[in-house]
Structure 1
Amino acid sequence: MLVLAAMILSAATVFYWYQYVPTSRHENPDFNGLEKPVFYRGVMLDQSAIGTQESLKLPFTTVQELLDPTMIHEEATDSTIITTQDKVIRLRTSQLTGMINEKPFDLKFPLEKSNDVLYLPMEPLKQLYHFELRESPDTGAVILVKDSDTITWGKTIGYPNKPDRTIPMRSGPLIKAPILAELNQQADVMIWAVEPDWFKVQLTNGYMGYIQKKHLMQDRTESIPEQKLPPAFVPARPINGKLNLTWEQVVTKTPDPAQFPPMPGLNVVSPTWFHLADGEGNLKNLADPAYVKWAHSQNIQVWGLFSNGFEPKQTTEALATYDKRMKMIKQLLSFAQLYSLQGINIDFENVNLKDKDNLVQFVREMVPLMHEQGLTVSIDVTPKSTSENWSMFYDRKALAESVDYMMLMAYDEHWASSPIAGSVASLPWAEKSLTRILQEDSVPPSKLILSVPFYTRVWTEERVNGKTKVSSRAVFMDNPQKAIEEKKLTPQYLPEAGQNYVEYEEGNKRIRIWLEDEVSMKARMDLIKKYDLAGVASWRRGYENPKIWSLIQQALNE
């Protein structure tokens, strides 16, 4: 009986020891093999830093992930390219000279490649981004802190009667977990997580572990102040606050403005002057100083249009490297200065989907340099669709973050070779197109411009071999009026299209026209008012009924 009692007592002792007696076993903390680990918000990143103090360098992927996801490294030119609101920075690996807005500046320490990892010097980046690097002199660990971050600090409790007592930091939230460090009383630690009886903490030397709540009290919260950004570029805006832009199509020679009818309310013209000539980034220039002189005499701004020529192959080549992109940008800057332009309108269409990111990069590199010269930058985009070369290559959200204005080309719902006849831009289709961009891509209404057609299509349907053959031709706004008068037609309003419609027979052919007129234009202007858009753009000058200008002016003034 006594033996049994002793066995029970022994088992109870073992159980108590196992459950309630903390282990005193120690382990040396480590950083999983990293020589100079980098931490952010209590998480150790995959790659080490190199260097120390002012020569400290972080891996490119770390900087990209934590400081600027838009930063790129271009393998073709071994360049790291950083774009901010007002700067374009190019850093070449192993070189001590960088470029800011195409002006050279000196680096104390170059970019460096080691074991196929690219490292960026931190000193110049501190001028661009607001962050701190807290480097431990003991372990070399680096703790990165960004502006607007908060850090909760704790302090180990004190035992006045036991001044030599230490506080264990363990490898896990268990009393049986090995002790990684013995902390002094009143020691500061960062608290990164809270568990039922434990705090997950980090020491200033980078080591992390767990301390029981009974040994630690929350002490203070450190808030890293948010740094103020420089004021954003404000494009020169028309007096009435709404843009009224029209495109001037120039094929070989700019038309004579002396022949233009009055265009009341027009405040921006965008002539199609600049075109990508080849894959090397050379541009073709059709600009006319006399046209600029006329526009300025009418208090009309001139935003030269820059087109990629709708050639996907040469567009791919020209966007491929920083040098080619900058070659295009520098030519545009030169043209803008030479002709006293107020802006550049980018019109890239028929672009390969694989060039989506490169187009964004081109715009990000272009805008700071344009703004430096006081130029407004706008870009034309199509409605959203599943067509890769027509629509999907536009990253509208990213583009809108850079440009001053985005023109939604809300037309060609039914295009020239459409298999079925229909409106160039029915009102429900146009409205859906603009609301999708506002909602899905977070484009601010203050940047979005509704582009409207000054043309329509005359559709011909005829039966050929038992099937309906459809063809069309684009015509000026007033062109259908002649047929309406000669044939004594009465336009019919189609609520489902939001515009007037006529049709008539010519032999065995049926002619169908969804009219662009004062009715459709008034409805489009109502959309601009409804969504408080930045204004209107029209394709193109010369196709319109002259009375349309007064209608647009009145609607924008309202």
Structure 2
Amino acid sequence: METMYTRMPPRRRRRRTGRYFAFFFMVGMLLAVCWFGYLKFIPNGQLIFPQYGFQHPIMVQGETASEGALLENEEILLPIDVLNTVLGPDKPIYYEEATGSIVMTTASKVLHLRTESLTATINQKPYKLTVAAEKKDGIVYVPITPVQELYGVKAEYAEHTGVVTLLLAGQSVQLAEAGKTKGSAIRTGPSIRKPMVEKVPQGETVRIWGEKQGWLYVQGPDGHPGYMAKPDAVLTRIEQVAAPQKDKPFVAWKTAGKPINLTWEAVYDVKPDPNKIGKLEGVNVVSPTWFELQDGKGTIKGKADPAYVRWAHSQGMQVWALFSNGFEPARTTAALANADTRFSMIQQLIAFAQLYDLQGINIDFENVATADKANLVQFVKELTPLLHEQGLVVSIDVTPKSTSEMWSLFLDRKALGKAVDYMMVMAYDEHWASSPTSGSVASLSWTEQSLARIIQEDEVPPDKLILSMPLYTRIWTEVKDAKGGIKVSSKPAGMDKVKNIIADKKLKPVFNEETGQNYVEYTENGSLNRIWIEDDTSIKARIAIAHKYGIAGVATWQRNFQTQSIWNTINQALHNP
């Protein structure tokens, strides 16, 4: 039997293999440490030029705007959309494509200009432009000069890179100096391994827009935004962007320490005779329905009466004449859609106010297409500064909020509230003339809700609101039809007429808890007649709502529905909360 032997490997070879492994392991570790050190401590020296997609990119607070600027004859032109974005939700710059008109508005200024034209006006006076607004590739641009004058927007142009930086009026920006001897890097990201977009020489200024991931987010002298290491920047001072010089603000008229007490004077074919009106105790403003839009070209028909104005002034009352759209939607759409037509209406109203010595204009546009919402706001924004320049108070009538497109949804109450001096909340017609059911013209709970929603949802300040109250009610007639249903009809009735019905029929009013009003009903010719009464009780309750919300005052529609004693009731309730 043959014996087999297993030969053991030499000890020397095993030791040599272990040494190789240890050597390569150490080399690998050393390389890893070097690579880690390189990544962590050796900065990227690559300098790149950012690609913004525009020849003249616009920077706003270190962020690139959606559109670029133009440069014409050393004047910067800025896109309207970008400006409206940075100027806030009010979007004060309006462009009308059909006419090429551009309108810029502030609380006291209205600037009109057109694309491709150096002709412009500000508050109806000539305004000098050195560069015209223009439309290019579907984008409308306006020159920076009027933008800076009206809104305080400052534009800086970096000639080396073409970057435009916008600074906003009143803005506070932290400044810093580059602190490193060889310059401080601005990088594309919060890491020294990110490439540089700019290397700022020591001592030069950067703007700091914030802090991101432990790095400063800055903008350098060449306009490029990016990241700078905190140790590389030395904080210096706060830059305060100057606001434009403002005109003395218009202060809407209000009798010292007294609420507004307005009544509308409905004027139809026959002028009211002031000698037959009598004493309106406590009323300090009358609003006669004198002016009406006649066509889509903006023609306004007037039926003002100088004798009525003289009478009102002799009674210590202001006259805020009402301007209506005639409740005609087609002509309203046409008149509001054109900048020239809007301006024509404004000029006519100013001329009427000067001719008849008026103190205000009350706008009453109703039955308006929802598509005209923005144009109505624009009209009021253009109207108010020019009327204020003439010392005129601007007010607008609005309905309570509802789902009705033509009677409610077209009203941007929030935007309108910012533009006008006063907003009349027409808190009546809860049940309107052709309502399918009988009911109160304005129940107390509905009235309060109408006022509260505009304050809470539309953020209209209470001191701009006036609660409009009805001096009328409706006599509802309910008749059973052949199918057992009820057919409802109504007719309006003033306070004296209702009093006479109650007296003639010897009715006894009952207080209705649900509506907060007195109520009567009676049968006549086989039909049930129902009346939710407007009287001292309901008027006092409405004025209590006005006091609760601290609003500017009350108004009444309309004087002819009065009972003479109601003026004393209103006056006493207003001044004795």
- Report the TM range for the smaller structure's normalisation: over 0.9
Conservation of the 8 A alpha-carbon contact between 1:503 and 1:513: yes
Q: 1:20 to 1:326 in 2, by over 3 A?
A: same
Which residue type is aligned with residue 126 of structure 2? P
Q: Residues 84-103 of structure 1: matches in 2 within 5 Å?
A: 84-103=106-125
Q: Does the alignment pair 1:266 with 2:289?
A: no
Q: 1:140 to 1:458 in 2, by over 3 A?
A: same
How far the C-alpha of 1:448 sits from its partner, in A, is 0.6
Conservation of the 8 A alpha-carbon contact between 1:252 and 1:286: no
- Residue 105 of structure 2 corresponds to which residue in structure 1? 83
How far the C-alpha of 1:227 sits from its partner, in A, is 5.2
Conservation of the 8 A alpha-carbon contact between 1:243 and 1:534: yes
Q: Does the alignment pair 1:304 with 2:304?
A: no
Q: 1:111 to 1:225 in 2, by over 3 A?
A: closer
User: Gaps spanning 5+ residues in structure 2: where?
Assistant: 1-17
TM-score of the aligned structures, taking structure 1 as reference length? 0.94
Conservation of the 8 A alpha-carbon contact between 2:92 and 2:106: no
Q: 2:397 & 2:214 partners in 1: Cα distance?
A: 58
- Residue 130 of structure 1 corresponds to which residue in structure 2? 152
- Residue 40 of structure 1 corresponds to which residue in structure 2? 60
| 1:12-45 C-alpha deviation (Å, 9 max, x unpaired) | 2343243331354514222423222211111111
Q: Which one is further off, 499-508 or 183-192?
A: 183-192
How far the C-alpha of 1:369 sits from its partner, in A, is 1.3
Q: 2:421 & 2:196 partners in 1: Cα distance?
A: 58
Match of 1:504, SS state, is strand
Q: Calculate percent identity across the aligned residue pairs.
A: 46
Q: 2:346 & 2:243 partners in 1: Cα distance?
A: 33
Q: 2:212 & 2:356 partners in 1: Cα distance?
A: 67
How far the C-alpha of 1:82 sits from its partner, in A, is 0.6
Conservation of the 8 A alpha-carbon contact between 2:186 and 2:220: no
Match of 1:99, SS state, is strand
Q: Does the alignment pair 1:415 with 2:455?
A: no
Q: 1:88 to 1:213 in 2, by over 3 A?
A: closer
| 1:359-407 C-alpha deviation (Å, 9 max, x unpaired) | 0111111111111111111110000011111111111111111111111
Q: Residues 53-64 of structure 1: matches in 2 within 5 Å?
A: 55-64=75-84
Conservation of the 8 A alpha-carbon contact between 2:102 and 2:113: yes
Q: Does the alignment pair 1:340 with 2:344?
A: no
Q: 2:347 & 2:562 partners in 1: Cα distance?
A: 35
Match of 1:420, SS state, is coil
Which residue type is aligned with residue 554 of structure 2? V
- Residue 305 of structure 2 corresponds to which residue in structure 1? 288
- Root mean square deviation of aligned Cα: 2.0
Which residue type is aligned with residue 484 of structure 1? I
Q: Does the alignment pair 1:139 with 2:157?
A: no
Q: 2:268 & 2:343 partners in 1: Cα distance?
A: 26
Q: 2:134 & 2:376 partners in 1: Cα distance?
A: 28
Match of 2:149, SS state, is coil
Conservation of the 8 A alpha-carbon contact between 2:148 and 2:244: no
1:514 to 523, 532, 537: 532
Match of 1:390, SS state, is helix
Q: 2:501 & 2:136 partners in 1: Cα distance?
A: 75
How far the C-alpha of 1:189 sits from its partner, in A, is 2.5
Q: 1:166 to 1:387 in 2, by over 3 A?
A: same
How far the C-alpha of 1:240 sits from its partner, in A, is 5.1
- Residue 458 of structure 1 corresponds to which residue in structure 2? 475
How far the C-alpha of 1:225 sits from its partner, in A, is 4.8
Conservation of the 8 A alpha-carbon contact between 2:468 and 2:556: yes
| 1:243-262 C-alpha deviation (Å, 9 max, x unpaired) | 11111111112111111132
Q: 1:17 & 1:192 partners in 2: Cα distance?
A: 35
Q: 1:267 to 1:31 in 2, by over 3 A?
A: same
- Residue 497 of structure 1 corresponds to which residue in structure 2? 515
How far the C-alpha of 1:557 sits from its partner, in A, is 2.5
2:206 to 181, 189, 193: 189
Q: 1:136 to 1:277 in 2, by over 3 A?
A: same
Match of 1:128, SS state, is helix
How far the C-alpha of 1:542 sits from its partner, in A, is 1.5
How far the C-alpha of 1:324 sits from its partner, in A, is 0.9
- Residue 26 of structure 1 corresponds to which residue in structure 2? 46
Q: Which one is further off, 27-36 or 288-297?
A: 27-36
Higher radius of gyration, 1 or 2: 2
Q: 2:185 & 2:128 partners in 1: Cα distance?
A: 48
- Residue 4 of structure 2 corresponds to which residue in structure 1? none
Match of 1:350, SS state, is coil
Conservation of the 8 A alpha-carbon contact between 1:518 and 1:548: yes
| 1:486-513 C-alpha deviation (Å, 9 max, x unpaired) | 3332211112211101112225321111
Q: Does the alignment pair 1:118 with 2:140?
A: yes
- Residue 67 of structure 1 corresponds to which residue in structure 2? 87
Q: 1:423 to 1:327 in 2, by over 3 A?
A: same
- Residue 8 of structure 2 corresponds to which residue in structure 1? none
Match of 1:501, SS state, is strand
| 1:166-194 C-alpha deviation (Å, 9 max, x unpaired) | 54433222233223444444443223332
Q: 1:180 & 1:341 partners in 2: Cα distance?
A: 62
Which residue type is aligned with residue 73 of structure 1? Y
How far the C-alpha of 1:53 sits from its partner, in A, is 8.3
Q: 1:31 to 1:150 in 2, by over 3 A?
A: farther
Q: Residues 306-385 of structure 1: matches in 2 within 5 Å?
A: 306-385=323-402
How far the C-alpha of 1:155 sits from its partner, in A, is 3.4
Which residue type is aligned with residue 382 of structure 1? T
Q: Does the alignment pair 1:474 with 2:492?
A: yes
Q: 1:185 & 1:281 partners in 2: Cα distance?
A: 63
How far the C-alpha of 1:114 sits from its partner, in A, is 2.8
Q: 2:416 & 2:374 partners in 1: Cα distance?
A: 10
TM-score of the aligned structures, taking structure 2 as reference length? 0.91
Q: Which one is further off, 440-449 or 203-212?
A: 203-212
Conservation of the 8 A alpha-carbon contact between 1:253 and 1:286: no
- Residue 294 of structure 2 corresponds to which residue in structure 1? 277
How far the C-alpha of 1:4 sits from its partner, in A, is 1.7
Q: 1:228 to 1:97 in 2, by over 3 A?
A: closer
Q: 1:42 & 1:364 partners in 2: Cα distance?
A: 32
| 1:100-136 C-alpha deviation (Å, 9 max, x unpaired) | 1222222111112333322211122222121322222
Q: Which one is further off, 220-229 or 67-76?
A: 220-229
| 1:76-105 C-alpha deviation (Å, 9 max, x unpaired) | 110110111111111111111101122222
Conservation of the 8 A alpha-carbon contact between 2:44 and 2:194: no
Conservation of the 8 A alpha-carbon contact between 1:491 and 1:501: yes
